[in-house]
Amino acid sequence: MSTDFAAHAADYLQLRRALGHELAEAHRLLPRFVDHLDAAGVTTITVAVALDWVRRRDVGPASSIWSRRMTVVRGFARYMSGIDPATEIPPLGLVIHRQRWNPPFIYSSEDIQALLRAVPVVVPSPLRRATVETMIGLLACTGIRVGEAIALDRDDVGCGEGVLVVRASKFTKTREVLLDPTAAAALAAYAAIRDEQVPQPVSRTFFVSGKGTAMIYANFGLLFRRLVETSRVGSGSSVRPRIHDLRHSFAVHTLVRWYRSGDDVTALLPRLSTYMGHRAPIYTYWYLSAAPELLSLAAERLQNQHAEGHRR
């Protein structure tokens, strides 16, 4: 007797989505676990078969992938236990990963320009080239998440009003993101190219692929890595540039600008937190230690405050 794990996995993912969960990781990893179960010829999930897949030697235990795989497996096993009582749910603590803080690569304006100059070299399609260039520019000047940019609907982009509406983002929050006039103009120019190239798109998303379909996160990430390699951005750095670092860079540059202008950074941080869609301001404080220049400016501000206090 065989078990149709693929069908059960599809039902499980559909149920989780209906409950409002984000499942990007599960969508990517769960089919691979199902393939492993089918290849192993098992009809019931056991701890042993789960560990066999989780601890595959394609990555080492120092990577976070083992714990991420186990999280996906444990959720699916918990669901399957209601269908097959013999299912074994892997207990917590079998795979432990100590989260390490990876310092971000802070892109300079010159780095962004270098990435944009590499786009025509890497991307031959005119529409796809315009999509990639505009997306990189938007990520750099607003700090929104890559997934948020990809998910933007055409009605969410108010070029005339200079506002983006980011709906149901990471923490199921909807927020408005104000745009600089140059950013709004760039989005309007892209929309004109998009509508000329694809008058009848398959998708209603604002950003589309060369075929008029919605952008795929994994494909955009792969393309971005090629742009980094081609442009040689970060080639002399010990930190590998990542696409999400565009968001980190926006936050750091904003804070540096506030410090240099003499603004009350403590009072302004909650605004930045809201703008970036953080769950709470405490997550925005992380950026204060993300760049040496920020630490230096913060220390200088603190010293000046102490000196002012002594003079009084």
278 among known catalytic residues: yes
Q: Which of 17, 21, 117, 170 is catalytic?
A: 170
Cα-only R_g, the chain: 23
Residue 170 known to be catalytic: yes
Contacts of 141 (CB under 8 A, 6+ apart): 180, 182, 183, 250
Of 107, 190, 275, 287, which is the active-site residue? 287
At the second CATH level, the architecture of 109-231 is Orthogonal Bundle (1.10)
Amino acid at the residue 272? L
* High-pLDDT (> 90) share of the chain, %: 45
SS3 assignment, position 208: strand
Q: Kindly report the pTM of this predicted structure.
A: 0.65
Active site residue 36: no
Distance separating alpha carbons of residues 138 and 134, to the nearest angstrom: 6
Q: Has residue 307 got a pLDDT over 50? A: no
Q: Which of 143, 204, 203 is nearest to 175 (CA)?
A: 143
Of 55, 129, 244, 301, which residue is the catalytic one?
244
Distance in angstroms (rounded) separating the CA atoms of residues 247 and 71: 26
Compute the distance between CA of residue 59 and CA of residue 67 in angstroms, rounded to an integer: 12
Residue 310 has pLDDT above 50, yes or no: no
Our answer to whether residue 27 is catalytic in this structure is no
Catalytically annotated residue among 145, 194, 248, 253: 145
The counts of H helices and E strands in the chain are 13, 3
Handedness of CA 158, 110, 300, 102 (dihedral sign): positive
Q: Which residue has the higher pLDDT, 198 or 265?
A: 198
What are 9-29's pLDDT values in tens digits? 999 988 887 766 667 778 889
Measured distance CA(260)–CA(296) in Å, rounded: 11
Annotated active-site residue in 247, 248, 253, 259: 247
Is 173 considered catalytic here?
no
Q: Which residue has the tokens 């096993």?
A: 77
Which residue in 74, 194, 248, 278 is the catalytic one? 278
Annotation marks residue 244 as catalytic: yes
How would residue 39 be classed by pLDDT, with cut points 50, 70 and 90? Answer: very high
What is the band of 158 on the pLDDT scale with cuts at 50, 70, 90? Answer: confident
Domain boundaries, the chain: 5-80, 109-231, 245-311
